[in-house]
Amino acid sequence: MNHSPPSPSPSRPRGAHPKPHGRISPKLLLVLAMLAALVLFFALDLGRFLSLANVKASQASFQALYTEQPLAVTTGYLVVYVLVTALSLPGAAIMTLAGGAVFGLLWGTVVVSLASTVGATLAMLAARYLLRDSIQARFGRQLADLNKGMDKEGAFYLFSLRLLPVMPFFVLNLLMGLTRMKTLTYFWVSQVGMLAGTVAYVNAGTQLARIESMRGILSPALLGSFALLGVLPLLLKKILNAVQRRRVYARWANQRPQAFDRNLIVIGGGAGGLVSAYIAAAVKAKVTLVEAHKMGGDCLNYGCVPSKALIKSAKLAHQMRHASRYGLSDATPSFSFRAVMQRVQDVIRAIEPHDSVERYSGLGVEVLQGYAKLVNPWTVEIALNPGAPGPEGSPATDQARTVRLTARSIVIAAGARPFVPPLPGLDDVGYVTSDTLWARFAELDTPPARLVVLGGGPIGCELAQSFARLGSQVSQVEMAPRIMGREDEDVSALALQSLQDDGVAVLTGHKALRCERVNGEKTLVVEHNGAEKRIVFDELLCAVGRVARLQGYGLEELGIPTNRTVDTNEYLQTLYPNIYAAGDVAGPYQFTHTAAHQAWYAAVNALFGEWKLFKADYSVIPWATFIDPEVARVGLNEQDAQAQGVPFEVTKYGIDDLDRAIADSEAHGFVKVLTVPGKDAILGVTIVGTHAGELLAEYVLAMKHGLGLNKILGTIHTYPTLSEANKYAAGEWKRAHAPQALLAWVKRYHDWKRG
């Protein structure tokens, strides 16, 4: 059974665009003109005029002609030099020497500098016009980091490379043409960067009579000078960084400690903060972790852990109602909702020791319980919780409930909180969030009879399905046209069907307007297609997203910029290079595993950044939504690839064909793999099905280490397991790319062998 969609045409994969026919394009005309010029250059052996011997032999006559007609000679020289460099012809070095011989050092430097810069810019523009769009379309994702770096420090990179004579300038012109650098920036940076080398060659040209070969100008002293020029940009960058740091820290200069209490202070005891503190302690740094509320942060106490415990109970209730799928009798589950919510708390308590004060203290982390606030870039003021011990384990007295500690570096890992929309009347009717529902619902004897869930993202979908399976009448309100809008449409459609099958009334395209009390009942007023509707509820759950915690711990006082999250660079540094941010407060992802991933970069850069800084790597970030069936993804999906203009092919394998899924009565969902057209290189994977989050790990590993579908196909997968879905998806790709012409010859061979 083939579950793959029709394969895109090999000549035009998805993401590509058809080309017009019937006329020669300007690009082709330019290519033909350049090829014609190159053919003429070599066919007529014009290169003989750009030899050292010819220039030396013609030096006297050219000097005499220049004396008689300086403007004509200068113009002709400029035109020839520009053509040579624009077409990347051999001879630019000889032309430079000739410029020195004919025009002298001063005027020769001016003429050569102008001609070489104009020629280099034309070569760059030609490469940009002919190649950039196609290269970016094909390798845009791989070049994303390069483009960002060029946007930020492209002028510095170009200046550095221009100073190095070992870098062939025609190669540099070609490569820079593929970037987004402005033409004017390229022109002036090239002129300044090439000036030192130009002066050296023009000066050598003034002594042309003494030069017997090109090696004569490349003396050890000159090469040493070029080497020093190559080091110059690095020194300049160091100086500029020092000046920038001095300016940033200027207002705090008199507050910088002579010595520090700690190597690192970490604000926040969630995933990002815990991992940062653990890494610091592991490398024997003196580290203090400050947490105001519960260790483990949102994930342990309000998010990942309690929601998954609830999902498991809800799934069991669902399976009992549908036991006939397994050859048993359907049964209505009888349960105490208080017991279900108590189990959630029991699960949290069972995991708590992993993130506890005692565990991290045992690992060498000093944990202080209280509210931290940045006083200056090196000082944190901590208002200790009542009864909490102070620094170094000594109990804090009532007179010393606030302490100050200094550190060379600080990591902000303050996390995020649920976003509560500004709906009129919301406070009057009352609401819960994904943080507060656990305590509120633990007080109920039965699940909420009528529950409204605001939001169609992962959190809203998980909780809507779970409470519907536990017996609540759930209405899910989403303003967008579909739920789970970050996923492809086929994924959203499958999720919608699953929620509806469990009894959730999914109201997409409905905008919440206000909350009211009508005849003693709580009501949500929504708008759909221009008309208002009213939804009566007992409890309302706000699950419309989370926002970073940015207030209350000193960002404003220090002037650290924020824009939904704390602004950081690629090293996770804030405005102050010794203050870092990691996790939800830093973005761009709000996943526990991403927070832990960022924490490594933040901690290592904070402790060892003066020697080496590491850029945070977001190239392979997986995530999962734990509805039933689960939705898991890594890399690009179809809508992302189309939005980014990345060409791709799609291979899709239906899990309804998988033996183990059939045996488990879980035969629904699919594995969808996006690959580079014609290749097995993986661009992204979406899996919908039971245990999709676990199945995704194989693709995460493959993408991280550059393994393609052929490697997955060649790996033994235990039978019968769900993991075979990955192998079969790779097999679907292999069948779609089978070498049909070769197989036709193989068939002839076998026919011949049979006689």
Q: What are phi and psi of 323, to 5 degrees?
A: -65, -20
User: pLDDT at position 84, please?
Assistant: 83
Q: Out of 71-75, 235-239, 552-556, 582-586, which region has the weakest mean confidence (pLDDT)? A: 235-239
Does the pLDDT value for residue 45 go beyond 80?
A: no
Q: Which of 77-81, 230-234, 615-619, 661-665 has the lowest mean pLDDT?
A: 230-234
Domain with CATH 3.30.390.30 in the chain: 629-740
**Peptide bond preceding 629: is omega within 30 degrees of 0, i.e. cis?**
yes
Condensed to tens digits (0 to 9), the pLDDT of residues 302-354 reads 999 999 999 999 999 999 999 999 999 999 999 999 999 999 999 999 999 99
Q: Is 198 exposed, middle or buried (0-12, 13-18, 19+ CB in 10 A)?
A: buried
Beta bridge partners of 516: 523
549 with 415: CB under 8 angstroms?
Answer: yes
For the chain, residues classed under CATH 3.50.50.60 are 262-416+548-608, 426-545
For residue 240, what pLDDT is reported? Answer: 64
**Neighbouring residues of 283: CB distance < 8 A, sequence distance ≥ 6:** 607
pLDDT of 226 > 90? The answer is: no
pLDDT at 5: 42
Average pLDDT rounded to a whole number, residues 570-588:
95
Query: Residue 11: pLDDT band by 50, 70, 90 thresholds?
Result: very low
Any idea of the CA torsion for 64, 67, 72, 75, to the nearest 10 degrees?
A: 90
Largest CA distance in the chain: 110
Residue 564 pLDDT > 80 = yes
pLDDT at residue number 95: 78
Residue 406's contacts (CB-CB under 8 Å, 6 or more residues apart) are 257, 260, 261, 262, 378, 379, 380
pLDDT band at 19; cut points 50, 70, 90:
very low
Token pair, residue 504, equals: 């959730």
8 Å CB contact between 245 and 267: no
* pLDDT at residue 253 in the model: 86
What's the pLDDT score for residue 177? Answer: 80
Q: Cα(344)–Cα(475) distance, rounded to whole angstroms? A: 23
> Among the residues of 142-219, which ranges form H helices?
144-162, 169-177, 183-206
Q: Partners of 528 in the beta sheet?
A: 531
Least confident of 121-135, 329-343, 606-620: 121-135
Report the pLDDT value the prediction gives residue 639, as an integer from 0 to 100. Answer: 96
- Residue that wins the pLDDT comparison between 413 and 202: 413
Looking at residue 447, its pLDDT comes to 97
Closest to 726 (Cα-Cα) out of 632, 643, 636: 632
Position 231 scores a pLDDT of: 60
Residue 164 above 80 pLDDT? no
- How much is the mean pLDDT over the chain? 87
Q: Hey, which residues does 427 pair with through a beta bridge?
A: none
Least reliable range by pLDDT among 42-51, 101-110, 221-230, 392-401? 221-230
DSSP state of 9: P
Query: Looking at the predicted structure, is the pLDDT value of residue 441 above 70?
Result: yes
Q: How many angstroms separate the CA atoms of 231 and 226, rounded? A: 9
* Rounded distance between C-alpha atoms, residue 384 and residue 389, angstroms: 8
DSSP 3-state percent helix, strand, coil across the chain (nearest 5): 50, 15, 30
| C-alpha–C-alpha distance, residues 97 and 109, integer Å | 10
Q: Which residue has the higher pLDDT, 476 or 66?
A: 476
Q: For residue 3, what is the DSSP state? A: -
pLDDT at 493: 96
Side-chain half-sphere CA neighbours of 262 within 13 A: 29
228 falls in which pLDDT band (50, 70, 90)? low
Model confidence at 465, pLDDT cuts 50, 70, 90, reads very high
**Which pLDDT does position 49 carry in this prediction?**
63
Query: What Cα–Cα distance (Å) separates residue 615 from each residue in 414, 452, 599?
Result: 21, 42, 12
The answer to whether the Cα torsion of 292, 570, 282, 705 is positive or negative is: positive
pLDDT at residue number 12: 41
Q: Which CATH class is domain 262-416+548-608?
A: alpha beta
Sign of CA dihedral 361, 366, 371, 374: negative
Give the mean model confidence (pLDDT) for residues 384-390. 88
201/116 Cα distance (integer angstroms): 12
Residue 272: name the closest of 597, 591, 595 by CA. 595
The pLDDT of residue 634 is above 90: yes
Tokens at residue 325, please? 């799928």
The confidence score (pLDDT) of residue 215 equals 54
Distance CA 264, CA 378 (A): 10
How far apart (Å, rounded) are the C-alpha atoms in residues 94 and 54? 10
Whole-number pLDDT of residue 166: 55
Position 427 pLDDT exceeds 90: yes
Q: Residue 136 phi/psi, 5° resolution? A: -65, -35
Nearest to 636 by CA among 732, 703, 698: 703
Mean pLDDT is lowest, of 40-44, 78-82, 540-544, for: 40-44
Task: Give, as one character, the DSSP assignment of residue 737.
Answer: T
Strand (E) or helix (H) holding 381: strand 379-384
Percentage of the chain modeled with pLDDT above 90? 61
Least-confidence region, from 168-172, 249-253, 537-541 = 168-172
Paired with 404 in beta bridges are 381
Confirm or reject CATH 3.20.20.70 for domain 426-545, answering yes or no.
no
pLDDT tens-digit map of 68-112: 888 888 888 888 888 888 887 776 777 777 777 778 888 888 888
How would you list the strands of the sheet with 670-675, edge to edge? Answer: 622-625, 630-635, 682-689, 670-675, 649-654
Asked whether residue 449 carries a pLDDT value surpassing 80, the answer given is yes
Which pLDDT band, with edges at 50, 70 and 90, does 374 fall under?
very high
Structure tokens at 376: 């200056």
CATH of the domain spanning 629-740: 3.30.390.30
CA–CA separation, 652 and 99 (whole Å): 64
- pLDDT for 232 equals 57
How many Cβ atoms from other residues are within 10 Å of residue 225's Cβ? 15
| pLDDT for residue 99 | 79
One-letter amino acid of 412: I
Q: State residue 1's pLDDT score.
A: 43
Q: Looking at residue 99, what DSSP letter applies? A: H
Provide the pLDDT confidence category of residue 233 given band limits of 50, 70 and 90.
low
Question: Looking at per-residue confidence, does 51 or 8 come out higher?
Answer: 51
Determine the Cα–Cα distance for residues 528 and 572; give it in Å rounded to an integer. 43
| Cα 321 to Cα 316: distance, rounded to the nearest angstrom | 9
Per-residue confidence band for 18, with pLDDT thresholds at 50, 70 and 90: very low
Q: Which residues contact 83 (CB under 8 A, 6 or more apart)?
A: 37, 89, 119
**Helix, strand, or coil (residue 251):** helix
Q: How far is CA 361 from CA 277, 376, 596, in A?
A: 10, 26, 19
Region label for 464, one of left (φ > 0), alpha (ψ between -120 and 50) or beta (otherwise):
alpha
Residues 525, 481: Cα–Cα separation, whole Å: 18
Q: Of 222-226, 576-580, 744-748, where does mean pLDDT reach its minimum?
A: 222-226
pTM reported for the whole predicted model? 0.77
Cβ neighbours around 383 below 10 Å, total: 14
Mean pLDDT is highest, among 8-17, 396-405, 546-555, for 546-555
Q: What is the number of residues in the chain?
A: 755
- Residue 624 C-beta-side C-alpha neighbours within 13 Å: 21
Give the span between the Cα atoms of 556 and 136, in whole angstroms: 40
In DSSP terms, 532 is beta-bridged to 527
